[in-house]
Structure 1
Amino acid sequence: MNEASLISTALGSVVGVILALTGAGGGIVAVPLLVFGLGLNVATAGPIGLLAVGMAAGLGALLALRERRVRYKAATLMAVAGSIVSPAGLWLAQRVPNAPLMLIFAAVLLYVAARMLMQQRAGANGEAPRQGPPPACRLDALRGKLDWNAPCGCALTASGALAGLLSGLLGVGGGFVVVPALKRVSDIPMQGIVATSLAVITLVSMTGVVASAASGHLLWASALPFTLGALVGMLAGRRGARHLSAARIQQSFAVFTATIAVGMAVKALHGL
């Protein structure tokens, strides 16, 4: 294995660990790590990130499915909506210049970092986890399943479509959209939200990967070692998550994400 493959594998393992710990954050750091670590542009790094994130999320989703934590009907609905929209994002990614695309990515990263820090601070202050009207998607206590209705279906479809668009455009799994969306529109426990998010990420990412491979935009030499690292990182992260504070994970990831965002913005501005 050459030096580039070793670097790619190491970067992928970071993505897998983050994905296992957060259910959302691995995908959004995959592309920046490839941009800085391997010197790729965003459009080239996107499909590689999708493959690695999709495979690692699929492994996590299968393990969670065995534990009966995945809300597979909700995941399927969101994934179908995302898969329909994802090719449009890929089409845009191939036509937007690299520097503006990096600035868009940096803005998304800063938004995610700020939101995670605010959520962590709210939890530290003992604020109520939910405010406002009851969620559109509610669990039936007796059946242990969601009570489906039109508002629930519309909310999940819209969230899945947004995740799909960003998945294709930026090469992210979309978990940073899926997790807060499920928290906002449902009363699913957090472990179930993370598991369902992994299932959505898997299905949406694979749609983007197939489209990228078919159009010849997937760089396999970097994608395979990066994906291998992500799978190893996913297994290691699941084991380590049991011994780490959720608040500390959230805070550390927010700082890490903000740092990457600043770096990408600086790099993008130099390229204008």
Structure 2
Amino acid sequence: MPAPPVVAALAFLAAGLGTLGGLGGAVLLVPVLVLLGVDPVEAAPLGLMVAGAGSLAAARPQLESGLVHHRLGITLETTASTGVLVGALLSQALSATTLSRVLAVVALASAVTAGRRKGMRNRPHPSFDGEVAGEWPGTLAGAYQADGGVVPYSARRVPAALGAMVGAGVVSGLAGVGGGFIKTPIMSELMHVPVKVAAATSTFTTGFTAATGLVIFAAQGRIDAHAGAAVVVGGLLGGLVGAAVQHRLSPPKVRVAISVLLAAVAVVLLVRA
């Protein structure tokens, strides 16, 4: 295990980038730790810790920005958490090589999906000028403030997304990642939720995903307290920075950043495997 300051620095970078793109941070931290010689069994809980810390740190800035859709996030998390429990319980039955390959394939597929579309699907609508941005109570719809005006949106294909979230949860539990790198494309590409809203909502739900997986990992005795403390400190700071920058970027730039990060993660995992 690297020294605590090194672990904290890695967690800071992972949480910052993870919050920025709605990835959750763990999908970036876990492969790096494994490349540095950390056993995947030990790296997985640290990944969930940085994901949870980043989610907690980003909560207030994202709430103030009006990007998080809480009803949508909780709705999707009901099935994602079920998948996390299954994945965490099965995680010790698979080899590190198998886990790396599974994660690489999913990350690469998500990168292609998020990066293939250009421009903005959701556009400002003149009839919503003057409206307050945010989620619309009692619905899976809302609006957010873009440079050109207020952009309305409404989540689509909810049943299909709920099923896909089970798979995202299983991968999260197996590899010790928050699942944001899968959740964000599910919301933005399958449900047609604006990518900035999808990324912010994904970061919000990542805290629940991480907490669910950590309960299982703690019961299995897989948590390193010293490394965990360093990860939480770095993750909290990184999450704050990522959330502060997130709302200043345009959706296409955020989408490109997500695709590049996912592709890089996939390559690293495949090389390691």
Question: TM-score higher than 0.5 here?
Answer: yes
Match status 1:59 vs 2:57: yes
- Separation in 2, partners of 1:201, 1:249: 18
Q: Aligned in 2, Cα 1:244/1:210: closer, same or farther, shift over 3 Å?
A: same
Q: SS at 1:216's partner residue? A: coil
Asked if residue 84 in structure 1 is aligned to residue 82 in structure 2, the reply is yes
Secondary structure, aligned partner of 1:180: helix
Determine helix, strand or coil for the equivalent of 1:94: helix
The match for 1:138 is none
CA distance in 1, matches of 2:88, 2:112: 27
Residue 148 of structure 2: aligned partner:
none
C-alpha offsets along residues 216-244 of structure 1, whole Å, 9 cap, x if unaligned? 11222222212211111111223334555
Residue 53 of structure 2 is aligned to residue 48 of structure 1: no
Give a deviation string over 1:112-169, Cα, whole Å, max 9, x none.
Answer: 33334323xx23xxxx728xxxxxxxxxx9x934269xx8552342233222111101
Asked if 1 retains the 8 angstrom alpha-carbon contact of 2:114 and 2:189, the reply is no
Match of 1:167 among 162, 169, 172: 172
- Asked if 1:209 is matched to 2:210, the reply is no
Aligned-residue CA RMSD (Å): 3.0
Deviations 1:63-84 (A, max 9, x none): 3234443322221122121222
Counterparts of 2:65 and 2:247, CA distance in 1: 15
Q: What's the secondary structure of 1:258's corresponding residue? A: helix
Asked if residue 15 in structure 1 is aligned to residue 14 in structure 2, the reply is: yes
Distance 1:36 1:170 in 2: 14
- Give the letter for the 1:74 counterpart: L
- 1:15–1:230 contact (8 Å) kept in structure 2: yes
Matches of 1:169 and 1:263 in 2, distance apart? 18
**Greater CA drift, 211-220 or 232-241:** 232-241
**d(CA) in 1 for partners of 2:113 and 2:233?**
30
Matched, 1:74 2:72: yes
Pick which of 153-162 and 39-48 moved more.
153-162
Structure 1 pair 188–35 and aligned structure 2 pair: CA distance change class (3 A): same
Structure 2 contact 101–269 (Cα < 8 Å) conserved: yes
Could you tell me the TM-score, scaled by structure 1's length? 0.78
Q: Is contact 1:82-1:164 (8 Å) kept? A: yes
The amino acid that maps onto 1:50 is L
Indicate if the aligned counterparts of 1:74 and 1:156 stay in contact, CA closer than 8 A: no
Say whether the 8 Å CA contact 1:167–1:173 is kept in structure 2.
yes
Residue identity opposite 2:111 in structure 1: A
Structure 1 stretch displaced more, 255-264 or 164-173: 255-264
- Structure 1 residues 99 and 220 mapped into 2: Cα distance closer, same or farther (>3 Å)? same
Provide structure 1 residue ranges, at least 5 long, that are not aligned to the other structure.
131-140
The amino acid of 1:220's aligned partner reads: A
Which residue does 1:104 correspond to in 2? 102
Q: 1:186 to 1:108 in 2, by over 3 A?
A: closer
Question: How far is the alpha carbon of 1:187 from its aligned partner?
Answer: 5.1
SS of the residue aligned with 2:50?
A: helix
Which runs of structure 2 are paired with 1:186-197 in the superposition (5 Å)?
186=191, 188-197=193-202
TM-score, normalisation: structure 2: 0.78
Counterpart-to-counterpart distance in 1, 2:140 and 2:272: 47
Point out where structure 2 has 5 or more consecutive residues left out of the alignment: 123-132, 142-155
Letter in 1 for 2:101: L
- Say how many residue pairs are matched: 249
Work out the CA distance in 1 between the residues paired with 2:191 and 2:169.
Answer: 20
Identity percentage of aligned residues: 27
The 1:251/1:25 distance shift into structure 2, 3 A limit, reads: farther
Q: Which residue of 1 aligns with 2:259?
A: 254
Whole-Å separation in 2 of the counterparts to 1:241 and 1:147 = 22
1:28 aligns with 27
Give the aligned residue type for 1:36: L
Instruction: Tell me which protein shows more helix as a share of its residues.
Output: 1
Greater mean deviation of Cα atoms: 179-188 or 19-28: 179-188
Separation in structure 1 between the aligned mates of residue 240 and residue 266 of structure 2, nearest angstrom: 27
Match for residue 129 of structure 1 among 101, 110, 121: 121
Question: How far apart are 1:55 and its partner, in Å?
Answer: 1.9
